Amino acid sequence: MSIRIGVVVLTLVAGLGCSTSPSPSAPAAGTSPPAAATATAGAPLPSWNEGATRKSIVDFVERVTREGGSDFVPAPERIAVFDNDGTLWAEKPVPFQLLFAFDRVKALAPQHPEWKTKEPYASLIKGDMAGVLASGEKGVLSIIATTHTGMTTEEFSAQVRDWITSAKHPTTGRLFTGMVYQPMLELLAYLRANGFKTFIVSGGGVEFMRPWAERVYGIPPEQVVGSSGKLKLDVRNGMPVLIKLPEIDLIDDNEGKPVGIQRQIGRRPIAAFGNSDGDMQMLEWASAGLGARFALFVHHDDAAREFAYDRADKLQQFNRGWDEAVAKGWTVVSMKNDWKTVFPPDGSQAK
């Protein structure tokens, strides 16, 4: 684990003790993941209000797919990249992967009676976030190492699948897969219906997202780029397995996002979508290429239906990115004004 990761994790944990201002009214609890990752019939983007934002998306797609047009882009080059936390699904009170780590500690506690007196585990089991913080960076990194390393990739994937199908958001009571954004599911489907290949490029862990991204977003594991740890090939019971090691391979955030894109995708995207300063370099990288380009930030300004935060937020700041978007004419989505709905209704969720 790196010092940088430790600082980020500590900041996130600190946020658990702070209220998000303001907090949303809770949507109805979901019972299963959304099923809007396929193209919708009729007009595109039905959950988007008519206006400049929706028009900018549709105009761009029509320009790059119009054969013979000056902005036409061949299908293999129609690459669109999406941040995950805060762009495709919610990220408050903290990114959900951290809540997964905390839940894993609680699930493993019966096998570790020594944790009753060992910090930061003792404080975490009791729900004492101040006690977790008091253990410092070393203690928090110990939680991440305990819950994310030392097992095979198959074992970790199984743990993630079990959690994602049952764990619920602490504020809304929805399954975490019910905290995805309906308008963004429609956007993914609309782009794919027009020959785009859609990728997740997230600061979250790649092994955490891959077990469920295809079911929820229609994005297969090989099209998920994320922060990653080092792996080691081993043989257990005569079978080759990959072991997750407590060493960082890539931090897929800020300047790391263009690196991850080049490393795994090998093409510069023509469209990029994010929501915070951590996505700014990805949008800059995509926009710097030749030909038609599209960059979009999701602005969290809907306190009634989701959360409201931007420049002053301690965890997911949208400050430099906002200034960059204004200066360069990038599209900024107002969740409050541009989206008819935020989360999928219960009736649209598949069994």
Give me the mean pLDDT over the 60-64 stretch. 98
Distance between CA atoms of 5 and 222, rounded to whole angstroms?
24
13 has a pLDDT exceeding 60: no
**pLDDT for 32:** 38
Rg value, the chain, Cα: 20
Sorted by where each begins, the domain ranges of the chain are 3-348
Burial (CB count <10 Å: 0-12, 13-18, 19+), residue 33: buried
Fold assignment, 3-348 = Rossmann fold (3.40.50)
Q: How many CA atoms lie within 13 A of 60 on its CB side?
A: 23
16 has a pLDDT exceeding 70: no
Distance between CA atoms of 27 and 29, rounded to whole angstroms?
6
Asked whether 179 and 95 are in contact (CB, 8 A), the reply is no
Give me the mean pLDDT over the 28-44 stretch. 50
36 has a pLDDT exceeding 60: no
Residue 2: what residue type? S
Report whether the peptide linkage leading into residue 22 is cis, meaning its omega lies within 30 degrees of zero. yes
Q: For residue 325, what is the enclosing H or E element?
A: helix 320-328
**pLDDT for 21:** 39
Give me the mean pLDDT over the 149-154 stretch. 96
Over residues 204-228, the pLDDT tens digits come to 999 999 999 999 999 999 999 999 9
Predicted structure pTM score: 0.89
**pLDDT for 17:** 45
